[in-house]
Each structure stands twice: as structure tokens, then as C-alpha cells.
């Protein structure tokens, strides 16, 4: 391997800059260089989640032969869009770094080095049959069904692979919320509001606040897990009502 490629293999940020001509934001650098196994990214809309997922996938597949990278999205449309980002970055590579592809579809590719990148839509049926994933990235994790998340996790068992959940919040429910609030310190957590994104101007945000109203604005741009609008009781009210000290009314013990 060329010395320049070796440096890129060791540093995904260098890879993004040199090979893809892409300059990551500070939080994207942090996510790209992160060395742990479990990462939660709670990010504003349009902050660059999917772009970061695509770079992570490509870096892994290119430099680590025989890697299986799974990209999971809530819907077919979103998994197609995410895979298109991977393909666009692939095209941006300089000619001498272009990998030979032995399979190239709308939602998956296999490189000659035996690495695969597969972009999966959010139904549990599509996920069965994969094993030994080196990297799993859930994009829009708050909208990915919990069943799918539970189906995906065992694929890391043997490979010791890494799991990244990246999302804008979507109510106080589902596995993304649960891992963010109760997942413990096996997870690293990074939060990026729209104010932290250099491409989103304060003027635009003010306009959005007016147009969307507080509820949507807090969720989409400020990374807040707000109550689902039709919820009768708030999450905190329900949690406060759950007490071990209260004996059930109708069950004799």
C-alpha cells in the first residue's frame, strides 16, 4: 500500500480530505475518528449525518478487506438515498484509489478485496441472513423499528464490530431514545444542534421556528426528545407514576 494510503487508512479524516475532497465539520471529525464500539449521534436535521455515515462505510470497506458494512434506514427511499451518497463518494475517489467492484447494485456493492456495503430498508425481513458485520450504521435511528434494531445487534456478536446510531430525535420512545437516556456508559454520545452546524444560519433557524412551531423546532433542530403530540400523559408523568412502593390495588400478594 502506498504511504499516503496507509495514512488515510489510519485516519478517516485525512481520507475524507485527501481522497474525497471533503472537509468534515468538527463533530464529523470526532465521529470519523472515534475509536470505540458503540456511538450515539443525536443531530439536527441537515447537519450531515447521512454524509458521515457514507464516509465511514466507504473508509471501512476500502481499507479493511472482507468487511461487511450494513447501513440501516427506516425506508427504501432513505436507504437508496444513503447508498447514492456512498456511490457519489466512490466516484469522487482519484483513479488510482478506485476499487474494482465485483458487484454493484442499487443498494449494495462488493469490492474485489471482498468488502461489502449493503444499504437496508427498515423491514426486519431484509436483514436476516447477514452475519459478522464489522460496522453497522443506523441512519434516522429514531424511526427505525425496534424489531429491526434487535435483529441487527446479534450480527456484531462474533465479529466484535462497531454500532453507530445516528438520528434526529422522534419523541420519547423507541430504541434510540432508550439508548440515549438509559443505555449506560457503553455508549459514547455526541449531540449536534443546528446552532453547531456552520451551514445553517441563525436567520434560517428563526424562520423555521416561526413556521414549524416550538414542538417541531425543538425536535428537528435542537435535538430534544419532545413528547409525541397525541400523548395524553407526558413521559415524565408516567415515569413518576411508576413506583415500587405502590401496591397494586387488585392483586393480593
Ligand X SMILES: Nc1ncnc2c1ncn2[C@@H]1O[C@H](COP(=O)(O)OP(=O)(O)OP(=O)(O)O)[C@@H](O)[C@H]1O
- Closest approach, Cβ 139 to Mg ion, in A, equals 6
Q: Which residues pair with 72 in a beta bridge?
A: 120, 138
E-strand spans in the chain? 38-43, 68-72, 101-104, 108-111, 116-120, 135-139, 162-167, 188-192
Cα-based distances in Å from 19 to 92, 96, 129, 245: 8, 10, 33, 60
Residue 24 binds which one of Mg ion, ligand X, none, with CB within 5 to 8 A depending on kind? Answer: ligand X
The residue among 49 and 116 lying less far from Mg ion, judged by its C-beta, is: 49
Task: Please report where in the chains the cell 478487506 appears, as a residue.
Answer: 65
Q: Which residues pair with 120 in a beta bridge?
A: 72
Binding-site string for ligand X from residue 16 to residue 35, where x marks contact by CB under 6 A and - marks none: -------xxx--x-------
- Exactly one of 45, 173, 209, 218 binds ligand X (CB under 6 A); that residue is 45
Contact residues toward Mg ion (CB under 5 A) are 49-50
The string of DSSP letters for 146-170 reads HHHHHHHGGGGTTTT-EEEEEE---
Cell numbers for 133, please give them.
458485520
The residue of the chain with the least Cβ separation from ligand X equals 48
- Closest approach, Cβ 34 to ligand X, in A, equals 16
The residue among 21 and 65 lying less far from ligand X, judged by its C-beta, is: 21
Residue 74 binds which one of Mg ion, ligand X, none, with CB within 5 to 8 A depending on kind? Answer: none
- How many residues touch ligand X (CB under 6 A)? 14
List, in order, residues 6 or more apart from 24 with CB less than 8 Å away: 13, 16, 17, 32, 48, 52, 55
Binding positions for ligand X, 47-66, rule CB under 6 A:
47-51
Q: Is 196 in the site for ligand X (CB under 6 A)?
A: no
- Closest approach, Cβ 233 to ligand X, in A, equals 29
Nearest CA among 192, 198, 18 for reference residue 97: 18
Task: Please report where in the chains the cell 423555521 appears, as a residue.
Answer: 208
Task: Please report where in the chains the cell 450480527 appears, as a residue.
Answer: 155
The residue among 17 and 37 lying less far from ligand X, judged by its C-beta, is: 17
- Exactly one of 5, 46, 87, 113 binds ligand X (CB under 6 A); that residue is 46
- Closest approach, Cβ 46 to ligand X, in A, equals 4
The binding site for ligand X (CB under 6 A) comprises 23-25, 28, 43, 45-51, 168, 199
Amino acid at each position: 500500500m502506498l504511504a499516503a494510503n496507509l495514512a488515510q487508512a489510519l485516519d478517516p479524516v485525512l481520507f475524507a480530505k485527501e481522497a474525497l475532497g471533503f472537509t468534515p465539520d468538527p463533530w464529523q471529525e470526532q465521529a470519523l475518528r472515534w475509536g470505540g464500539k458503540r456511538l450515539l449521534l443525536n443531530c439536527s436535521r441537515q447537519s450531515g449525518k447521512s454524509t458521515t455515515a457514507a464516509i465511514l462505510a466507504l473508509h471501512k470497506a476500502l481499507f479493511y478487506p472482507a468487511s461487511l458494512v450494513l447501513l440501516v434506514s427506516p425506508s427504501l427511499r432513505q436507504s437508496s438515498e444513503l447508498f447514492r451518497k456512498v456511490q457519489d463518494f466512490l466516484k469522487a475517489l482519484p483513479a488510482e484509489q478506485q476499487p474494482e467492484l465485483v458487484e454493484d447494485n442499487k443498494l449494495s456493492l462488493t469490492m474485489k478485496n471482498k468488502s461489502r456495503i449493503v444499504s437496508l430498508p427498515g423491514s426486519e425481513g431484509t436483514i436476516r441472513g447477514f452475519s459478522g458485520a464489522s460496522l453497522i450504521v443506523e441512519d434516522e435511528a429514531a424511526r427505525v423499528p425496534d424489531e429491526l434494531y434487535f435483529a441487527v445487534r446479534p450480527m456484531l456478536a462474533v465479529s466484535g464490530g462497531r454500532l453507530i446510531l445516528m438520528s434526529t430525535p422522534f419523541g420519547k420512545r423507541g430504541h434510540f431514545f432508550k439508548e440515549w437516556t438509559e443505555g449506560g456508559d457503553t455508549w459514547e454520545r455526541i449531540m449536534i444542534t443546528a446552532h453547531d452546524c456552520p451551514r445553517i444560519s441563525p436567520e434560517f433557524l428563526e424562520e423555521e421556528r416561526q413556521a414549524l412551531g416550538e414542538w417541531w423546532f425543538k425536535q428537528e433542530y435542537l435535538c430534544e426528545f419532545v413528547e409525541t403530540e397525541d400523548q395524553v400523559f407526558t413521559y415524565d408523568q408516567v415515569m413518576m407514576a411508576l413506583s415500587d412502593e405502590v401496591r397494586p390495588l387488585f392483586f393480593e400478594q
